[in-house]
Amino acid sequence: MHPADAARQLRYAVAKETNTYDYEVSHWEAHAYEDVFADVIERGDLSDVMSVVETLGAEFSEESRPTPDRARVVADDVLSSNGRALTDGGPREDDS
């Protein structure tokens, strides 16, 4: 899946939740979340992408949209909850 495909899936989810299907929603999703979707696609799998899409789609309303920072938090939560480390681990406290 490509980031543009994930954005399209989010557009469909938003249209379903808010009965909104317009250029503004399409433009926002395609650009604001592109890096987040690219990261989830690279580090996760299709299930992870769809979890991010579903979560963000549920948070859209006619008055507000999740910020790109919120999208990053959602993505990190999905990736870490499925056992994927968010970092390489780094040195441990007990390591010398």
Mean pLDDT (the chain) is 77
**Those residues with Cβ within 8 angstroms of residue 21's Cβ, 6 or more apart along the chain or in another chain:** 11, 14, 15
Give the model's pLDDT for residue 8: 76
**Those residues with Cβ within 8 angstroms of residue 96's Cβ, 6 or more apart along the chain or in another chain:** none
Q: Give the mean pLDDT of 46-63.
A: 87
The pTM is what? 0.70
Closest to 53 measured CA to CA, from 74, 82, 25: 74
Q: Has residue 27 got a pLDDT over 60?
A: yes
Q: Has residue 80 got a pLDDT over 80?
A: yes
* Cα–Cα dist 93/25, whole Å: 46
